[in-house]
Structure 1
């Protein structure tokens, strides 16, 4: 019988305060972790992942915050993809489905974050684990330079 060898898999998980400082730290931790995984600072995948993590984290503290609760950041790397997942404590507030977003007017102050995520990611989704936690995730295609 031929055995199958699983693709190498790496993961990183951290909980952060639901503040702007926590969202900034999420971005920096993504850059640091990717550098350790062989995607150096300034590389296209590191910059894209940092942008996606920043947007998902800002959304978690803006739309998914519950007083006194943190948000979670998880990175999972396989040979082909990097999944960036951010969990918050507002499963009652779901994001729009991918492909359903309208471009906001030029003078609008917001509404572009998930458009940016959708432009960088190959897939995006939302999982509601229970009555307390939801996770928004995005997957980026990996190409080693």
Structure 2
């Protein structure tokens, strides 16, 4: 698997998460903003890295994009999205679960036309995440996940 290749199955972590947290948020812009703020708060608390570090910024950007996509492309009226955060050895895993399993992200982020006004979110995720993918759990939900490195371990 290449560094940024999307997979349909989550990688099996070498160890269990040392910390984890999951919460539901409303499928609104406010919900996405709160999810991003929570992810950065947990990232900095769990890793002892500052808010303005590159890994913290990557975690913020990835969370914002995944939450935004869940709201824009994966929500049904009245349904929330779920944010799960997991601290793995060397990795911070962000999982966003929504209620539209039939609307999967494309297997590879593709460049969009220069004059386009949307469609660059997955390119950003791909650029800032160590790896990312998607998992369909059942007929009612899917999870799009990404892992951000928080140490200097070589890939």
Query: Normalization by structure 2: what TM-score?
Result: 0.84
What are the Cα deviations for residues 48-69 of structure 1, in whole angstroms up to 9, with x where unaligned?
A: 0000000000000000011111
Which residue of 142, 146, 150 corresponds with 1:142?
Answer: 150
Which residue of 120, 125, 132 corresponds with 2:128?
Answer: 120
Q: Distance in 1 between matches of 2:121 and 2:103?
A: 16
Q: Which runs of 5+ in 1 are unaligned?
A: 1-5
Q: Which runs of 5+ in 2 are unaligned?
A: 1-14
Change (3 A) 1:7 1:67: closer
Query: Superposition RMSD on alpha carbons, in Å?
Result: 1.4
Q: 1:83–1:139: 8 Å Cα contact kept in structure 2? A: yes
Counterpart of 1:52 in structure 2 is 62
Structure 2 residue 74 is the aligned partner of structure 1 residue 67: no
Q: Distance in 1 between matches of 2:110 and 2:148?
A: 22
Q: 1:34–1:40: 8 Å Cα contact kept in structure 2? A: no
Following TM superposition, the consecutive aligned residue runs of length 4 or more in structure 1 with deviations greater than 2 angstroms are none
Residue 101 of structure 1 deviates from its aligned partner by: 2.6
Secondary structure of 1:114's aligned partner: helix
Counterpart of 2:44 in structure 1 is 35
Which residue of 111, 129, 137 corresponds with 1:129?
Answer: 137
Q: Distance in 2 between matches of 1:108 and 1:8?
A: 39
Secondary structure of 2:93's aligned partner: strand
Residue 102 of structure 1 deviates from its aligned partner by: 2.2
Q: Which has the larger radius of gyration?
A: 1
Structure 2 residue 96 is the aligned partner of structure 1 residue 86: yes
Change (3 A) 1:52 1:8: closer
Change (3 A) 1:122 1:8: closer
Change (3 A) 1:76 1:130: same
Q: Distance in 2 between matches of 1:7 and 1:89?
A: 26
Query: Normalization by structure 1: what TM-score?
Result: 0.89
